[in-house]
Amino acid sequence: MTDWTDPDTFAAALDHVDTREKGRYFEDFAEGQVIEHAPGLRLTRHGNDAWMGQTLNHDPAYWRSDAARARGFDEPPIHPDYLLAAVMGPSVEDLSEKGGYFLGRDAVRFHEHGVAPGTEPRVESTVRATGESSSRPEYGIVTWETHGRDADGDTLVSYERTNMIPRREPAATDGGRSESSREEGDGSRDSELPETFVTPDGGAFEDFRRALDRAADRDAAVAYRHERGRTMDELTVAALPLATLNTARQHHNGAAMADSPSGEPVAYGDVTRSTALGHARSDERTYRELGFDDERFHDFVTAGDTVFGFTRVLDADPSAGPPRAGQVTFEHVAFTADERPVYSGRRRALIDREDADAPTATDGSTHP
Ligand SMILES: CC(C)(COP(=O)(O)OP(=O)(O)OC[C@H]1O[C@@H](n2cnc3c(N)ncnc32)[C@H](O)[C@@H]1OP(=O)(O)O)[C@@H](O)C(=O)NCCC(=O)NCCSC(=O)C[C@H](O)C(=O)O
């Protein structure tokens, strides 16, 4: 009788059998195609707190009732970064599990500002664009528009995401940047930078407005780095994406990644991003997140890399927002200890004014 677990016999069996594949190749996507993803997560406080804790988004409004009420919420809601990751996670099996990097995201919009624990989002994506990659023939580039909706069908969050996706032919590899492109640079690192860098005195709306005023009409920018760093570990690389049902092999399958340019699992883009945003938010008085545009993932992050945050303040609009807050537009960059930018994105957020200290839900906010 055949002993199937004899190592030689088993190796021969592996050579001969088909693999029950997961995920889709580039050729499987067509513009306009609508994909309803399998029911995803129930948003829980536990999942929310784990994501927030590990990414240093230590904002008590999302876990303490007194802090939540002071921010105009009835109860601590789900944090926007966790909501976004929990909506993207269930889409991965259908869209990007095959591998290929998460290149960027645009038009991230939070349609609800107080999403309650217990919400069970339904996630649907529409293929918006498919294209060849001229530099990497083994991949195509696909853009999807994704909506996470509540039980009434109301959109909680929506965005457009772009990934490199392996083509069925030639055989897929993981992609990755060439060594030569990593080493580029002519030594004139600061030639195009402004002469002066202004740092806000604090984290209130007026601090950002005054800093922009100080930088106006001269060769200056409001730009600064945040001190905190977070070294990526098993928990952030594999556990957080898996906890949002993100099945992308890049984050947890060391055997598949051994053959890739990184040679090992890479951090999920949303963990890297959320970590840098956590650093930035610790230096501001965030009231509400409104949206993100032009998000790009420039290079991969692996376990042992430390993620830092850098912020540029682009605009501070006192007229957009409720009486207690003004709208600030930031550009955030996540970077590693060896000063590699790994993420960048433009963010609009409502930032509390200096006197917004004891607000209630009836503060006149148009942003619930
Ligand atoms: C992916 C990279 C290795 C590619 O680097 P490089 O070879 O230097 O090329 P480019 O960065 O110029 O981009 C290649 C082509 O892709 C197009 N592109 C790039 N960004 C976008 C975008 N936002 N929208 C549309 N098209 C885009 C370029 O124009 C190029 O096109 P072409 O010239 O025709 O070939 C490198 O970028 C890299 O390492 N990035 C980091 C990726 C990463 O680490 N992402 C996060 C981790 S993976 C992840 O989170 C997966 C996630 O779970 C999921 O499931 O999605």
3-state SS string over the chain? CCCCCCHHHHHHHHHHCCCCCCCCCHHHCCCCCEEECCCCCCCCHHHHHHHHHHCCCCCHHHCCHHHHHHCCCCCCCCCHHHHHHHHHHHHHHHHCCCCCCEEEEEEEEECCCCCCCCCCCEEEEEEEEEEECCCCCCEEEEEEEEEEECCCCCEEEEEEEEEEEECCCCCCCCCCCCHHHHCCCCCCCCCCCCCEEECCCCCCHHHHHHHHHHHCCCCEEEEEEEEEEEECCHHHHHHHHHHCCCCCHHHHCHHHHCCCCCCCCECCHHHHHHHHHHHHHCCCCEEEEEEEEEEEECCCCECCCEEEEEEEEEEEECCCCCCCEEEEEEEEEEEECCCCEEEEEEEEEEEECCCCCCCCCCCCCCCC
pLDDT tens-digit map of 79-124: 999 999 999 999 999 999 998 889 999 999 999 999 999 999 999 9
Mutate to test the pocket of ligand 1, among 141, 145, 232, 292 (most ligand atoms within 8 A of CB): 141
Angstrom distance (rounded) from CA 360 to CA 176: 49
Tokens 């217990």 correspond to 118
Ligand 1 binding pocket includes 180 (Cβ within 6 Å): no
Angstrom distance (rounded) from CA 34 to CA 135: 28
Q: Which residues pair with 122 in a beta bridge?
A: 149
pTM of structure: 0.92
Distance of CA 175 to the CA centre of its chain: 20
Ligand 1 binding pocket includes 162 (Cβ within 6 Å): yes
Mutate to test the pocket of ligand 1, among 103, 292, 293 (most ligand atoms within 8 A of CB): 103
- Do residues 44 and 52 touch, judged by C-beta distance below 8 A? no
Tokens of 264: 């090992």
> What integer pLDDT is reported at residue 357 of this predicted model?
72
pLDDT tens-digit map of 245-264: 999 999 999 999 998 888 99
Q: Which residues pair with 288 in a beta bridge?
A: 350
First to last CA, the chain: 69
CA-CA distances (angstroms) from residue 304 to 52, 146, 201?
A: 20, 32, 33
Q: Which of 155, 148, 52, 159 is nearest to 104 (CA)?
A: 159
Ligand 1 binding pocket includes 136 (Cβ within 6 Å): yes
Hey, what domains does the chain have and what are their CATH numbers?
26-172+196-352 (3.10.129.10)
Question: Looking at this protein, which amino acid is placed at residue 350?
Answer: L
Ligand 1 binding pocket includes 181 (Cβ within 6 Å): yes
CA 169 to ligand 1 centroid distance, Å: 19
ipTM: 0.96
Q: Which residues are CB-neighbours of 354 under 8 A, at least 6 positions away?
A: 204, 205, 206
Ligand 1 binding pocket includes 299 (Cβ within 6 Å): yes
Q: Which atom of ligand 1 is nearest to the CA of 177?
A: 3
Q: Which atom of ligand 1 is nearest to the CA of 97?
A: 55
> What integer pLDDT is reported at residue 186 of this predicted model?
52
Ligand 1 binding pocket includes 244 (Cβ within 6 Å): no
Which residues of the chain register pLDDT less than 50? 171-185, 358-368
CA 122 to ligand 1 centroid distance, Å: 27
